[in-house]
Chain A
Amino acid sequence: MRPRYRKVIADLWDNKARTALVVASITIGVFAVGMISTAYLVLPEAMNRGFVAASPVNIKVATMPFGDDLIKSVSRIPGVGAAEGRQTVEVRITKADGSLENIELIATKDTGMHEININNLIEGKQVPDDNELLMWRDGMQTLGFSLGDIVTLELEDGTIRKMPIVGVVDDLTHDNATMRQPRGYITLDTVEWLQFEPIYNNMWVTVDRDTDDGNYIASVSAEVQSKIENSGRPVFFVREFTSAVHPMASIAQAVLGILSILGLLIVFLSGSLIANTLNSLITQHTRQIGVMKLIGARTQQITAIYLIEILAFSAMALAISIPLGAIAGYELSKVLSTEINVILPDRGAVPLMPLVVALQVFVGLAVPLGVGIFPIRRGAGITVEDAVTGGGKAANKESKSWFDRTMEKIKAFQGPMVIALRNTFRAKGRLALTLFTLALGGGIFIAVFNVRIALHGKVDEITGYFAADVNLDFDRNYRTEEIEQFAKQIPGVDYIEGWSITLGDIHVEGQQATKEVIMFAPPADSRLIEPVLIAGRWVRPGDQRAIALNEAYLSVNPDAKPGDQIQISVNGKEKTWTIVGIYQFTGLPEVFGYTTYETLSSEINSKFHASSYRIATQDHSLAFQQDLSAQIDAHFQKNGFLVKEAQAGGEFRETMTEQMDTIIWLLLVMALLTAVVGSIGLAGTLSMNILERTREIGVLRAIGGYNSIVVRLVMIEGLIIGLISFLLAAAVSFPISTVLSNVITIAIFKSPADFTLSPNGFLIWSLLVAILTTVASLVPARNAAQLTIREVLSYE
């Protein structure tokens, strides 16, 4: 091998710590790129492919019972791809922990073989026999069951039915998957066994083309509704869905987009780290470069030697980061996929993707070469005189910097403190890069904790609409006074409100189709709702047909504003309502409206009655809520009420918080990566500073500087860097927090977040920096202190 290449290998091998530092710096950036781009390619593809393959329903129509004739008739409508009937019933299921929960059971004639909303079998049977149950995987996990378990169902009249779980399926079309609402699949005969009519009450339709075209779906839907109405059946409600892309695709894209931005920042940080280390490498090699030039090496040859070294660093980093990035990218996709009801192919089926590898190779080569070329050109261009004899122009430039002059003037800084301060600011370029890396890394780290608080704040805002401790629903209306009386017999119940809930249709001006609105009507003076208004006001006692609509209505009618009058059909009667306010809700596309109980109960002829109740309890902890829910459930059942569900209000908050925490967890992974980059930067800078001053330390010890002074010098230097970086990180965390919080909350909730600060991020980062600086300073300080004077003075 030619000696110049032997030198490359020797450089890599002899200073293993430096090699590890550069390789780790490149690896982190390339790893982040690989992880995020793998997720970017795997997740949306899996989402859409799996979703489209499930042949998702485009139109759901709830109507009076119907049979195969109507299905055939609907399927012949031009534009209809397929039409199927469904019977959807809700019963109560005893969870594995003994508590009760509602489960939605979907039945059709050929359950397991149907063509719309096709399930993917995970284990067990694809087609259930009578009195057997197929279960949706995630819902089953929520309930605590596994394949083969016998579940207990409680029917409306208290009858108990037991059914075996014979199959587990994935239902990628589950429209309430994120809330983990349990769902099962049974035959029509099983429906009868569960004391429901074995007939269809829902028409599910797919369109034959343009499944992403809402207008086309609406036009086919109008034909379907017309056909159903012509058959003499009323249409209770209609829901339309596009099905070309997964409904959660935009959220997944947004989360991946944010991770990509963070990934780019990490590449950026890793670049600055590489620049720092290569700068130091060239500085350390100045004399060697001079010697090589002295014996005949030209500038281009020196440049080539160090570029080859960079390529070797890159090759090692790529060898580590390509497989690691692919694995982490898959796992990242998996974490996200479980949150948004997506099935990923097995990892074995996700080989290294050429595009991702190409991107990683590009980043792994371009970034180190891009940032390395400057120190290399500088180093290779040095004259022999400057490099070897030290008598060149560089030597003649030495003079006291403004910093040194300032330090001399400050009397308070004396002895080791002055030396440490000067040392800190000696390699200004390196210090700037280190501070930049640490500040940005720390800023992101701190920001993630602020984003967490902002997201939880959003959850709080949303749960403000679900402020009750227990939500009690009955299968029919009861007099509110009666329910109140019974509820107050239960110790712990503080307060109860009867809410009227119904579906309405808003007639949007200039459009043929109507928009469904889910109308909630708490008492006008409700204490169990805390709305966040965007415009106008909330409904008040005495309002007549006044309604507050959520932000989703603005996507139907962007010009809507308080004071507008709109036509809403409730209970078959179309009347004029006044929009009094627009409020911020979850970002979901469904339109929700709040009016007063007095108004709505009058519209649906159920004054002084309600089927839905909101209860406030004396203790607001989740455990108390769950315990009281069970007591309330039992108490009302015992007294002959048809209880549909009694659910702890905190469960909703917990599910939402868990989902937000998944995003936070992902952000934290990225934050930790940035912290690692920052740490490597700090450790590297301090080590390099010491290495470059080995001779100086020797001189210091030769003139009487004992070990503790040497250690103290290095420690003070580390702590100064740590302190400055922390202050900078704290400053940059503000804008980063704002941008990150807003991007995420706008993607998920369609509204920006309030700026919030969490002391945790600042505290944890300050501790991390303190530990890092101590460790990163102590090791080189101890090494420096252990060198003999002879060793350091003979050091070259």
Chain B
Amino acid sequence: MFKFRSNAAALQSSSAVTADRNTPFIRLRDVRKVRQTAVGDLVTLKDINLDFYRGTFVGIVGKSGAGKSTLINVLSGVTDVTSGEVWLGETAVHKLSESNRALWRGTNLGVVYQSFQLLPNLTLLENVMLPMDFCGRFKPKESREKAMHLLDQVEIADHAHKIPSRISGGQQQRAAIARALANDPPVLVADEPTGNLDSVTAETIFELFHKLIDDGRTIIMVTHDRHLAERTQHRLRISDGAITENSHPIGHNPHA
């Protein structure tokens, strides 16, 4: 009962197969998302076609309800697409089962939310170790060392043994970023990561993201903040579920 099925496609880290910066790393093709609501069907994503490249900082802006979060939920496999395809490297995300998607997400994608989403009764260290524990990519001792290293990288190693409620919002978001990086994912998806933070703290988080980009990671960030979005390499504007502005449409590599 507890013998977990492994899915080779899910376990395979996409970083290994798409190290090259000239090939689209994430591809969305004709993605459509329709939600059924009490008042009828609501199209939240309309035939989205996008390419994202490795080592790119992508900023997605749009009004509330425009479909920003739905877009990154589709990207991260949190939301099923109604039609269309989502590829991350060679993995057809839209075809993975819910359980395999979890494993795939754990190894290929770090997710950061506005509300941090740390487990309240685990210490920061344990929170960061948890993805490694679930995905089984590191031995327990290694995962502990790695978690400490990540906390050190985000400059909250001193708080490693505190539970989330004992530290500030900015520190919690740093912990959430450290957790998102636990399994060395090539992609970080962030939904309003600075939405709950003051401007100074938001700036430090943003600087942290830049460091990660320099390390070769791809960050896709949803934000309300127009100024922050302007500082990303690849900017998208979404309105009523459709992409209305794309600084790098398909075929335009930001690295080129």
Query: Which residues of A come within 8 Å of B, CB atoms?
Result: 2-4, 6-7, 10-11, 14, 287-288, 291-301, 303-304, 383-385, 388-389, 391-393, 396, 398-399, 796
Q: Is the CB of B119 within 8 A of A7?
A: yes
Besides A391-B35, A391-B70, 5 other A-B contacts (C-beta < 8 A):
A14-B121, A298-B103, A383-B78, A385-B79, A391-B73
Q: Is the CB of A292 within 8 A of B73?
A: no
Q: Is the CB of A11 within 8 A of B134?
A: no
B71-115 CB contacts (< 8 Å) to partner A: 73, 76, 78-79, 98-100, 102-103, 105-107, 111, 113, 115
Interface flags, B109-146, vs A, CB<8A=1, else 0: 00101010111111000110111011100001000000
Complex CA distance for A393 and B79, rounded to whole angstroms: 10
Q: Is the CB of A296 within 8 A of B135?
A: yes
Complex CA distance for A10 and B38, rounded to whole angstroms: 39
Q: Is the CB of A298 within 8 A of B38?
A: no
The interface residues of chain B lying within 8 Å CB-to-CB of A303 are 2
What are the 5 tightest A-B residue pairs by CB atom distance, in nearest-first order? A296-B106, A10-B121, A295-B131, A3-B126, A296-B134
* B37 within 8 A of partner (CB): yes
Q: Is the CB of B73 within 8 A of A389?
A: yes
Q: What are 10 A-B interface contacts by the 8 Å CB criterion?
A: A2-B140, A4-B134, A292-B134, A295-B106, A295-B111, A296-B106, A300-B99, A383-B78, A389-B79, A391-B79
* B69 within 8 A of partner (CB): yes
Complex CA distance for A14 and B163, rounded to whole angstroms: 12
Q: Is the CB of B133 within 8 A of A4?
A: yes
Q: Is the CB of A296 within 8 A of B105?
A: yes
B211-249 CB contacts (< 8 Å) to partner A: none
The interface residues of chain B lying within 8 Å CB-to-CB of A6 are 122, 126
Q: Is the CB of B98 within 8 A of A396?
A: no
B1-34 CB contacts (< 8 Å) to partner A: 1-2, 4
The interface residues of chain A lying within 8 Å CB-to-CB of B99 are 298-300
Q: Is the CB of B37 within 8 A of A296?
A: no
Complex CA distance for A291 and B110, rounded to whole angstroms: 12
Complex CA distance for A294 and B180, rounded to whole angstroms: 10
* B173 within 8 A of partner (CB): no
* B168 within 8 A of partner (CB): no
CB closest residue in chain A, given B105: A296
CB closest residue in chain B, given A5: B133
Q: Is the CB of A288 within 8 A of B119?
A: yes
The interface residues of chain A lying within 8 Å CB-to-CB of B180 are 295
Complex CA distance for A659 and B183, rounded to whole angstroms: 71
Q: Is the CB of A7 within 8 A of B121?
A: yes
Q: Is the CB of A388 within 8 A of B78?
A: yes
Q: Is the CB of A2 within 8 A of B38?
A: no
Q: Is the CB of B38 within 8 A of A398?
A: yes
The interface residues of chain A lying within 8 Å CB-to-CB of B38 are 396, 398-399
CB closest residue in chain B, given A2: B133
* B179 within 8 A of partner (CB): yes
The interface residues of chain A lying within 8 Å CB-to-CB of B183 are 296
Q: Is the CB of B102 within 8 A of A297?
A: yes
CB closest residue in chain A, given B78: A384
Complex CA distance for A287 and B119, rounded to whole angstroms: 9
Q: Is the CB of B4 within 8 A of A389?
A: no
Nearest-neighbour CB distance to chain B for A219, whole angstroms, equals 63
The interface residues of chain A lying within 8 Å CB-to-CB of B36 are 393, 396
Contacts A298-B99, A396-B35 given; does A385 touch B121 at CB 8 Å: no
Complex CA distance for A293 and B4, rounded to whole angstroms: 14
The interface residues of chain B lying within 8 Å CB-to-CB of A299 are 98-99, 102
Q: Is the CB of B130 within 8 A of A301?
A: no
Complex CA distance for A384 and B100, rounded to whole angstroms: 13
Nearest-neighbour CB distance to chain A for B133, whole angstroms, equals 5
Complex CA distance for A746 and B115, rounded to whole angstroms: 67
Q: Is the CB of A297 within 8 A of B106?
A: yes
Q: Is the interface of A mostly helix, strand, loop or mixed?
A: helix
Contacts A296-B102, A296-B103, A297-B106 given; does A385 touch B78 at CB 8 Å: yes
Nearest-neighbour CB distance to chain A for B194, whole angstroms, equals 18
Complex CA distance for A398 and B38, rounded to whole angstroms: 8
Complex CA distance for A303 and B2, rounded to whole angstroms: 9
The interface residues of chain A lying within 8 Å CB-to-CB of B127 are 3
Q: Is the CB of A4 within 8 A of B130?
A: yes
Q: Is the CB of B134 within 8 A of A297?
A: yes
Complex CA distance for A388 and B182, rounded to whole angstroms: 20
Complex CA distance for A381 and B88, rounded to whole angstroms: 24
Central interface residue in A293, A299, A304, A396, by most chain B CB within 10 Å: A293
Contacts A298-B103, A383-B98, A384-B78 given; does A7 touch B122 at CB 8 Å: yes
Q: Is the CB of A300 within 8 A of B131?
A: no
Q: Is the CB of B119 within 8 A of A292?
A: yes
Nearest-neighbour CB distance to chain A for B107, whole angstroms, equals 7
Nearest-neighbour CB distance to chain B for A338, whole angstroms, equals 50
The interface residues of chain B lying within 8 Å CB-to-CB of A399 are 38
Nearest-neighbour CB distance to chain B for A397, whole angstroms, equals 9
Complex CA distance for A399 and B39, rounded to whole angstroms: 11
Complex CA distance for A62 and B135, rounded to whole angstroms: 88
Complex CA distance for A291 and B4, rounded to whole angstroms: 19
The interface residues of chain B lying within 8 Å CB-to-CB of A293 are 102
Complex CA distance for A306 and B111, rounded to whole angstroms: 24
Complex CA distance for A525 and B180, rounded to whole angstroms: 98
The interface residues of chain B lying within 8 Å CB-to-CB of A288 are 119-120
Q: Is the CB of B102 within 8 A of A291?
A: no
CB closest residue in chain A, given B104: A296
Which residue of A301, A388, A396 is within 8 Å of B113 (Cβ)?
Answer: A388
The interface residues of chain B lying within 8 Å CB-to-CB of A297 are 102, 106, 130, 134
Q: Is the CB of B130 within 8 A of A388?
A: no
Complex CA distance for A294 and B99, rounded to whole angstroms: 10
Contacts A297-B102, A385-B73, A385-B79 given; does A396 touch B117 at CB 8 Å: no
Q: Is the CB of B120 within 8 A of A796?
A: yes
Nearest-neighbour CB distance to chain B for A400, whole angstroms, equals 10
Nearest-neighbour CB distance to chain A for B149, whole angstroms, equals 16
Q: Is the CB of A10 within 8 A of B4?
A: no
The interface residues of chain B lying within 8 Å CB-to-CB of A396 are 35-38
The interface residues of chain B lying within 8 Å CB-to-CB of A398 are 38
Complex CA distance for A3 and B2, rounded to whole angstroms: 18
Which residue of A14, A301, A389, A392 is within 8 Å of B134 (Cβ)?
Answer: A301
The interface residues of chain B lying within 8 Å CB-to-CB of A304 are 2
B29-52 CB contacts (< 8 Å) to partner A: 35-38
Q: Is the CB of A295 within 8 A of B130?
A: yes
Q: Is the CB of B98 within 8 A of A291?
A: no
Central interface residue in A295, A299, A383, by most chain B CB within 10 Å: A295
Which residue of A3, A14, A294, A392 is within 8 Å of B133 (Cβ)?
Answer: A3
Central interface residue in B35, B103, B119, B180, by most chain A CB within 10 Å: B119
CB closest residue in chain A, given B131: A295
The interface residues of chain B lying within 8 Å CB-to-CB of A388 are 78, 113, 117
The interface residues of chain B lying within 8 Å CB-to-CB of A3 are 122, 126-127, 129-130, 133
Q: Is the CB of B2 within 8 A of A300?
A: yes
Contacts A383-B98, A384-B78 given; does A296 touch B2 at CB 8 Å: no
Nearest-neighbour CB distance to chain A for B144, whole angstroms, equals 9
CB closest residue in chain A, given B36: A396
The interface residues of chain A lying within 8 Å CB-to-CB of B133 are 2-4
Central interface residue in A298, A304, A388, A398, by most chain B CB within 10 Å: A298
Complex CA distance for A396 and B41, rounded to whole angstroms: 10
Q: Is the CB of A295 within 8 A of B78?
A: no
Contacts A383-B98, A399-B38 given; does A298 touch B122 at CB 8 Å: no
The interface residues of chain A lying within 8 Å CB-to-CB of B120 are 288, 796
Q: Is the CB of B111 within 8 A of A294?
A: yes
Complex CA distance for A32 and B115, rounded to whole angstroms: 46
The interface residues of chain A lying within 8 Å CB-to-CB of B79 are 385, 389, 391-392
Q: Is the CB of A295 within 8 A of B179?
A: yes
Q: Is the CB of A298 within 8 A of B119?
A: no
Q: Is the CB of B4 within 8 A of A300?
A: yes
Complex CA distance for A3 and B126, rounded to whole angstroms: 5
CB closest residue in chain B, given A298: B99
Complex CA distance for A7 and B126, rounded to whole angstroms: 9
Central interface residue in A287, A288, A297, by most chain B CB within 10 Å: A297
The interface residues of chain A lying within 8 Å CB-to-CB of B113 are 388
